[in-house]
Amino acid sequence: MWFEILPRIDLTATCLVTPGTAAAHTHRSSTGGKEKTAPYDPCRWSALQRDRLLSGVNCYYLPKGSENID
Protein backbone atom coordinates (compact mmCIF):
# COMPACT_ATOMS: atom_id res chain seq x y z
CA MET A 1 0.00 0.00 0.00
CA TRP A 2 1.01 3.63 -0.30
CA PHE A 3 1.62 4.08 3.45
CA GLU A 4 4.36 1.43 3.43
CA ILE A 5 6.68 3.83 1.58
CA LEU A 6 6.38 6.64 4.17
CA PRO A 7 9.02 5.26 6.60
CA ARG A 8 11.48 4.92 3.72
CA ILE A 9 10.88 8.51 2.62
CA ASP A 10 11.31 9.68 6.20
CA LEU A 11 14.57 7.76 6.59
CA THR A 12 15.89 9.07 3.27
CA ALA A 13 15.04 12.66 4.16
CA THR A 14 16.75 12.28 7.54
CA CYS A 15 19.88 10.87 5.93
CA LEU A 16 19.99 13.75 3.44
CA VAL A 17 19.40 16.55 5.98
CA THR A 18 21.61 15.36 8.86
CA PRO A 19 25.08 15.95 7.30
CA GLY A 20 24.26 19.52 6.28
CA THR A 21 22.88 20.54 9.65
CA ALA A 22 25.71 18.79 11.48
CA ALA A 23 28.27 20.66 9.38
CA ALA A 24 26.54 23.98 10.04
CA HIS A 25 26.45 23.41 13.79
CA THR A 26 30.06 22.24 13.84
CA HIS A 27 31.17 25.33 11.92
CA ARG A 28 29.17 27.63 14.19
CA SER A 29 30.57 26.09 17.36
CA SER A 30 34.16 26.09 16.10
CA THR A 31 34.07 29.79 15.16
CA GLY A 32 32.32 30.90 18.32
CA GLY A 33 29.13 31.84 16.48
CA LYS A 34 30.79 34.69 14.54
CA GLU A 35 31.31 34.84 10.84
CA LYS A 36 34.91 35.39 9.90
CA THR A 37 35.56 37.75 7.01
CA ALA A 38 38.51 36.89 4.81
CA PRO A 39 39.29 39.35 2.01
CA TYR A 40 40.56 37.60 -1.10
CA ASP A 41 41.27 40.63 -3.26
CA PRO A 42 42.83 44.07 -2.69
CA CYS A 43 39.52 45.88 -3.09
CA ARG A 44 37.86 43.97 -0.26
CA TRP A 45 40.99 44.34 1.89
CA SER A 46 40.93 48.12 1.50
CA ALA A 47 37.20 48.16 2.29
CA LEU A 48 37.82 46.19 5.50
CA GLN A 49 40.63 48.55 6.49
CA ARG A 50 38.38 51.55 5.81
CA ASP A 51 35.62 50.05 7.95
CA ARG A 52 38.11 49.28 10.73
CA LEU A 53 39.37 52.85 10.77
CA LEU A 54 35.90 54.42 10.57
CA SER A 55 34.45 52.31 13.39
CA GLY A 56 36.66 54.07 15.94
CA VAL A 57 37.19 50.92 18.00
CA ASN A 58 39.58 49.13 15.63
CA CYS A 59 36.96 46.54 14.60
CA TYR A 60 35.69 46.17 11.04
CA TYR A 61 32.45 44.50 12.16
CA LEU A 62 31.18 47.44 14.26
CA PRO A 63 29.97 49.80 11.54
CA LYS A 64 29.43 53.49 12.06
CA GLY A 65 27.00 55.21 9.76
CA SER A 66 27.92 58.32 7.82
CA GLU A 67 25.82 60.42 10.18
CA ASN A 68 28.13 59.50 13.09
CA ILE A 69 31.47 60.18 11.41
CA ASP A 70 33.19 63.29 12.76
Tell me what pLDDT residue 68 has: 55
Q: Tell me the C-alpha distance between 2 and 43, whole Å.
A: 57
Task: Mark residue 37 as left, alpha or beta (left: phi above 0; alpha: psi -120 to 50; beta: remaining).
Answer: beta
CA 29 and chain centroid, separation: 12
- The distance of Cα 34 from the centroid of its chain, to the nearest Å, equals 7
Q: What pTM does this model have? A: 0.41
Of 28, 26, 25, 44, nearest to 36 by C-alpha is 28
pLDDT in tens, 8-64: 888 999 999 999 999 988 888 887 766 666 667 778 888 878 877 777 677 666 666
The domain ranges of the chain are 40-70
User: DSSP label at 56?
Assistant: S
